[in-house]
Amino acid sequence: MPLGERYGGDKSESRYCGVETEFDDDMPNLLSFNTHGGFDFVLATLMDPDYRPSLVDDHTSRSRALPFAGSDLVLSLSQWSSHVVGKISSWIDLDSDDETLRKDSEIALRQEIAWASHLSLQACLLPTPKGTTCANYAKCVNQILQSLSGMQLWLRIPLEKSEDDIEAKNPDLMVDGQIDSWELWNSFRLLNEHHTQLSVALDILSSLPSASSVGRWFGEPVRAAIINTNSFLTNARGYPCLSKRHQRLATAFFNHSIQLVISGQPMHNVPMGASELNADTQVEGGWRHPLKSYLDYVAYLYQSMDPLPEQERFELGYRDYLQSPLQPLMDNLEAQTYEIFEKDTVKYSQYQRAVAKALIDRVPDENASTVTTVLMVVGAGRGPLVRASLQAAEETERKLKIYAVEKNPNAVVTLHSLVKLEGWEEVVTIISSDMRNWDAPEKADILVSELLGSFGDNELSPECLDGAQRFLKEDGISIPSSYTSFIQPVTACKLYNEIKSHKDLVHFETAYVVKLHRVARLAHTQSVFTFNHPEYSTKASNQRYKKLRFDIPSDTGSSLVHGFAGYFDATLYKDVHLGIEPSTATPNMFSWFSIFFPLRTPVCVPPGTPLDVHFWRCCGSTKVWYEWCVASPSPSPIHNTNGRSYWVGL
């Protein structure tokens, strides 16, 4: 049964927990025993571990069935696909110096994966490579992947990285005097060209690497986390529990839809009967699965998680879904897009605060009843900024005259209806025009806009406001008054594979709007481009160039950079800001997702090596575009030269 429902929780597949089993040729009994014990699936060896191809003579092997565990008929196909994950024999060593073992391993690997595919299993667990050299293993897996149907292959990798003062437990995984199992996974997946059906199953050990080192894995295609019973501690009542760090890790696995699997023999003498964590665990006749107390504890951790905030629940369907950024100048937005943005009450609350502060600064209390402030909303859409400005005027008891400028004729229709419906005819004048072409009848005291994109300037706010500021008084106020873009390097295997599937250059040179989820943020953000408004300098240019150096924490180990996550932070007025830069993000605001700049070839960054990055904002007569590249530790091509793949039209 599932680990349980959480109030406000998501419905991810990580609610389920499996169990690793020993070989059993009675698969129906094995499955029944474990599912009745509360587990959702078994991680089961498919072949008798005593079988070796070299021990079966040619005549015998041609005349009898392969020595697998029973027939495919012992379970229904739905049982095979829903409740069994195959486990390839652990003795297999495809990079062994022993030629017989190596050949046996190749034959057995192909036989077992072919059988698992025949059974319609959703996934099959590959054994951990036996040493640092895994080229032949990867080659054999790569050949299999070329003709494999939809089944996933999970490569078993221990979550292990030694620190300087810790002696490595497995010398075969040593890299430059340290152990880092991520290096083994990275080598294997690069040899398989990031194949989408190749994933990771992490073995969770009793000791964990640093938080930075563990964090790398959340950008990798981790499908399962196998927790051995010897990783559990014992609480005061004799029940199994996990350390605080292991608890946080398990919760992170749940949040990233990573299956948990319990493995090993029971290490705790738990009293018979109902568990203290879950009163419903007692089984008819007093029988309990020997690992039930471990399952109960995992369920307890799941059910104890905080419910997802409303914003996160809204964004679930957008996680890691790549979207092309809006082209607000070239395209007229549709009603559905307006409606989504208008639901973001947090954003308009911030705008209302900014306008209110500007009105108070603009008009002293003694003049509040006699002075009318001229406010222009440029890019008024369907009126949310008009409403926010009027509410700010009511709140501060200031008088307003509003010009609502909008180029989208469809939105203008809605604006006229809104003005009539709300009785704003004496206060609001609607202008159906592009703000860059309109000749204002008077100068504005306050200019309000919401032209910001996920990267701040990527929806051409600088160009639009530069064109509109001619009708702002010399001492006028622009809301926003400034905005800055930020980037940070990320591991984002899922996004990279999705882009790679298009098999062209264009998709690798496009910046995408995406709700980042299965990514590893490898370093702190750094600022890229800043724009201020109004900008009266005659030498001002909206072209920008920035060179950045990122220092990835030394305890992270090596990491693979698939691209850069982009954000913005905007100052609306004085201390009123909004943005999505992680360290200062406006809570509960969902109008903007991050932007993602991919790299055509991922860059591997060794420990202690800086990552040098270059970003350009380029302006032409009809378009604006970005170019980007990595200069060190290994140079990448400059992406999107002359805006050949991605641009924003003026």
> Is residue 178 predicted with pLDDT exceeding 90?
no
pLDDT, tens digit, for every residue of 120-149? 999 999 999 998 789 999 999 999 999 998
All residues at 6 or more sequence positions from 114 whose CB lies less than 8 Å from its CB, including other chains: none
Residue 49 C-alpha from the chain's centroid: 39
272 in a labelled binding site: no
For the record, the structure tokens of 603 come out as 């860059």
Catalytic residue among 459, 463, 509, 581: 459
Is 174 annotated to bind a ligand? Reply is: no
Cis link prior to 633 (omega < 30° from 0)?
Answer: yes
Over 70: is that where the pLDDT of 298 sits?
Answer: yes
Is residue 627 marked as binding?
A: no
DSSP string covering 382-419: TSHHHHHHHHHHHHHT-EEEEEEEE--HHHHHHHHHHH
Residue 534: is the preceding peptide bond cis (ω within 30°)? yes
Question: Residue 279's pLDDT is what?
Answer: 40
Mean pLDDT of 38-54: 90
| pLDDT tens, residue by residue, 613-641 | 999 999 999 999 999 999 999 999 999 99
Instruction: Tell me the angle at which helices 181-191 and 135-147 cross, rounded to the nearest 10 degrees.
Output: 50
Distance CA 186, CA 189 (A): 5
Q: In the chain, where are the structural domains located?
A: 16-237+255-265, 335-450, 482-649
What is the CATH class of 482-649?
Answer: mainly beta
Query: Which pLDDT score, from 0 to 100, does residue 72 have?
Result: 85
Beta strand pairing status for 482-491 and 611-619? unpaired
Chain-centre distance for alpha carbon 148: 27
Structure confidence by residue, pLDDT tens digits, 326-358: 777 777 888 888 998 899 999 999 999 999 999
Mean pLDDT for all residues in the chain: 90
Any idea of the CA torsion for 101, 103, 107, 108, to the nearest 10 degrees? 10
Helix (H, G, I), strand (E, B) or coil at 152: strand
Q: How far is CA 614 from the centre of its chain?
A: 23
Q: What pLDDT shows up at residue 278?
A: 46
DSSP structure string for 15-83:
G-EEEE----S-HHHHHHHHHHTT-SEEEEE-B-TT--GGGS-HHHHHHS---BSS-GGGS-HHHHHHH
Whether the Cβ atoms of residue 489 and residue 611 lie closer than 8 Å to each other: yes
Q: Decide: 480 and 534 in contact? Cβ < 8 Å.
A: no
Is 434 annotated to bind ligand? Answer: yes
Q: Are 15 and 258 within 8 A, CB to CB?
A: no
Spatial separation of the C-alpha atoms in residues 188 and 252, rounded to whole Å: 25
pLDDT over 60 at 11, yes or no: no
User: Right CATH number for 335-450 from 3.40.50.720, 3.20.20.190, 3.40.50.150, 3.40.50.300?
Assistant: 3.40.50.150
Q: What is the pLDDT of residue 167?
A: 45
Angle at CA of residue 302, ends 31 and 297, nearest 5°: 65
Taking the C-alpha atoms of residue 340 and residue 589, their distance in angstroms, rounded to an integer, is 12
Nearest to 446 by CA among 489, 486, 490, 386: 386
Among 54-63, 321-330, 576-585, the minimum mean pLDDT is found in 54-63
Using DSSP bridges, classify how beta strands 198-204 and 178-179 pair: parallel, antiparallel or unpaired.
unpaired
User: For 16-237+255-265, which CATH class?
Assistant: alpha beta
Q: Is 338 annotated as a binding residue?
A: yes
Q: What was the pLDDT predicted at 520?
A: 98
Name the least confident of 57-66, 177-186, 558-567: 57-66
Q: Report pLDDT for 340.
A: 87
Alpha-carbon distance of 89 to 23, in angstroms, equals 10
Q: Identify each DSSP E strand in 501-622 by its residue range.
A: 512-514, 520-521, 526-532, 544-550, 559-573, 576-579, 594-605, 611-619
CA gap 69, 189 in Å, rounded: 30
406 is in an annotated binding site: yes
* Percent of the chain predicted with pLDDT > 70: 91
Q: Which residue has the tokens 């078993």?
A: 156
HEC profile of 493-516: HHHHHHHHCCCCCHHHHCCEEEEC
First to last CA, the chain: 56
Element (H, E) at 225: strand 222-228
Task: Please report where in the chains the tokens 């398990």 appear, as a residue.
Answer: 250
Query: How confident is the model over 502-546, as pLDDT tens digits?
Result: 999 999 999 999 999 999 999 999 999 999 999 887 777 999 999
422 is catalytic: no
pLDDT band for position 214 (cuts 50, 70, 90): very high
Measure the CA–CA gap between 331 and 410, rounded to whole angstroms: 12
Query: Out of 112, 450, 498, 509, which one is annotated catalytic?
Result: 450
450 given a catalytic annotation: yes
